[in-house]
Structure 1
Amino acid sequence: MEFSREALIESVSSQMPEKRWKHTLGVMKTSVELAERYGGDPERAETAATLHDVAKYWPVERMREIIEDNDLSAELLRYDKQLWHAEVGAFVAEKEYGITDREILDAIRFHTSGREGMTLMDKIVCLADYIEPGRDFPGVDRIRKLAKSSLEEGLIAGFDSTISLLLEKRKIVFPLTLLSRNDLVRALEEKE
């Protein structure tokens, strides 16, 4: 089953509050802009961005069931529930929306945590989620500025912001976020 762009937007927007849909629209627009700037595929980036939060407002138990019943990353269940929607969203994108493009599915799956060896699509959607125009948190303007010249620098600043906030609140940091950040730093150091 293949969804037209309009049908996809209609279906996804119906699953979240208006405020979250406005965020999604911002991520869609920003993903297209980043794809155009950095040589990605704007249409595919927009599709990933449209679906990135599709499961965000699903009941926690429904997400837990999908993770457990489909042998998804069970490790996630040991961490903050805010991370679950990304894994579930990728599953839903494939099973309910017929997305078969692995890069789109992975960009959805890793938009909250990143991963080692992030693809261009991963970087675009993850960074767009940080810097879309509706985002307002300390340091977002610096991340936006960095994103104009480097996806990697923007992402490192974004991950640093997330990690600092979690440390400040004495929360557990998802290990993949640290690994993602370190991998980006290492890759930049190797370029120099």
Structure 2
Amino acid sequence: MIYSKKYTTLTRDELKEKVSQHMSDKRFQHVLRVEKKALELAKRYDVDLEKASIAALTHDYAKERPDEEMIGLIKSEGFDLDLINYGNAIWHGIVGSFLVKTELGINDEDILTAIELHTTGACEMSELAKVIYVADYVEEGRQFPVVVKARELANDNLDLAVSFETKHTLLYLINQQSRIYPKTLETYNQWVAQ
């Protein structure tokens, strides 16, 4: 894919190189699989392919940053301090969006919001945000009991895929007795609860 320079001054290869410098090879392979799935879904649901590629390649940009760095950014950049209570599973989307903007110079709000919401979802999500949320969940390297059903839904109906993912993510968190970020509950109430 050749980028238009509309959303980033980087080429796709340059963006891949910058992203790969901030993560393990295992994580980077996941990122590439998410991009592949995001592009498939973007084609199916008429979402801008370049935006889907950029958001997918950068969605985990902050995933392997040290906790101290992330906590420091939460404090210094005016994020809600309650974020500190939820750990990297939540931080890496919200703070990661900020880092993609400041370090990579990507300013498109649709892309940044898709990165921010890729783990929590939201009541209101753009088609791009839904694509990244779902692609991250169903990429071909994922192996968990309901992933086949999730993939089927992703190919049939993006909104139903968002609902299914949200429900099963919440069930997983409850079974793990994990803290649940309030936006995840809001997403559940909007997309799943009747």
Q: CA offsets, 1:58-114, max 9 Å, x none?
A: 100101111111112333212233211111210111111111100000000110001
Stretches of 4+ moved more than 4 A in 1? none
Deviation at 1:181, TM superposition (A): 2.4
Unpaired runs of at least 5, structure 1: none
Q: Could you tell me which of 184, 190, 194 is aligned with 1:183? A: 190
Deviation at 1:164, TM superposition (A): 0.8
2:88 aligned with 1:81, yes or no? yes
Considering only aligned residues, what root-mean-square deviation do their CA atoms show, in Å?
A: 1.4
Counterpart for residue 21 of structure 2: 14
What is the TM-score normalised by the length of structure 1? 0.92
2:99 aligned with 1:92, yes or no? yes
2:118 aligned with 1:111, yes or no? yes
| Aligned-partner Cα distance in 1 for 2:29–2:165 | 20
Q: Following superposition of structure 1 onto structure 2, how do residues 1-192 of structure 1 map, counting pairs within 5 Å?
A: 2-185=9-192
| Aligned-partner Cα distance in 2 for 1:17–1:67 | 23
Q: How many residues align?
A: 187
Query: What is the identity, as a one-letter code, of the residue corresponding to 1:115?
Result: A
Unpaired runs of at least 5, structure 2: 1-7
Contact 2:166–2:191 (Cα < 8 Å) also in 1: no
| Aligned-partner Cα distance in 1 for 2:129–2:77 | 23
Query: What is the identity, as a one-letter code, of the residue corresponding to 1:5?
Result: R
| Aligned-partner Cα distance in 1 for 2:116–2:80 | 10
Identity rate, percent = 37
What is the TM-score normalised by the length of structure 2? 0.92
